[in-house]
Amino acid sequence: MKLYTFDPETLTYKHTFTIRRALKISVLLVILIMFLGASSTPPKPTYTIESEKVLLVEELNIFNENKLIEEIDKLNFKFPHIVLAQSILETGHFDSKVFKENNNLFGMKEAKVRLNLAKGTQNGHAYYDNWEESLMDYALWYSTYAYKCKNEKQLFKLLDKQYAEANHYVEALKRIINKENLKIKFKK
């Protein structure tokens, strides 16, 4: 016995395979399943309760500066030490209310014009589910406005014009970069 399927493009029936061939394949699959099933013991089911899931998620999102440096490096910013300096300055060494309550590393406001990841506004700044989203939102800002900067001087000028709300913002960034020797924390 042969099996046919209809091809609507050519308006013809095409030979697929025989029942005999299908039976052979089925028998081989059954034997293979029996063989594999007999050779290994089934894994024990693991059960997690809701609080364990929450704890696991919270543990993954716990912030530390080394994780931030690693993520900044992965995102391949041209001047990663400036990005790190901004996060240090904007969060008061990761101690500000905006950082702790909003997971906001860069003092970002909720963007109205560009694509962003903010969940809304809280305490006058954008808030995020975790610090990684804040970093990704900054990367979106960077790719929208700072991608043309070919050197540090151009980026500092852009930050001074478009980003900074405080006087002497760029000077403060440069002090942090030098004092904490941020350039050596990145591969580049």
* Pairs from 153-156 (Cβ < 8 Å, separation ≥ 24): 155/78, 155/79, 155/82, 156/82
The tens digit of pLDDT for each residue in 146-188 reads 999 999 999 999 999 999 998 999 999 999 999 999 999 997 5
- 146: which residues sit within 8 A by CB, 6+ positions away? 155, 158
Sketch the domain layout of the chain as residue ranges.
Answer: 2-39, 64-185
The tens digit of pLDDT for each residue in 76-128 reads 999 999 999 999 999 999 999 999 999 999 999 999 999 999 999 999 999 99
How many angstroms separate the Cα of 100 from the Cα of each of 16, 22, 56, 130, 150? Answer: 63, 62, 19, 10, 33
Question: Quick check: helix, strand or coil at residue 183?
Answer: helix
pTM of the complete model: 0.69
The CATH topology of domain 64-185 is Lysozyme (1.10.530)
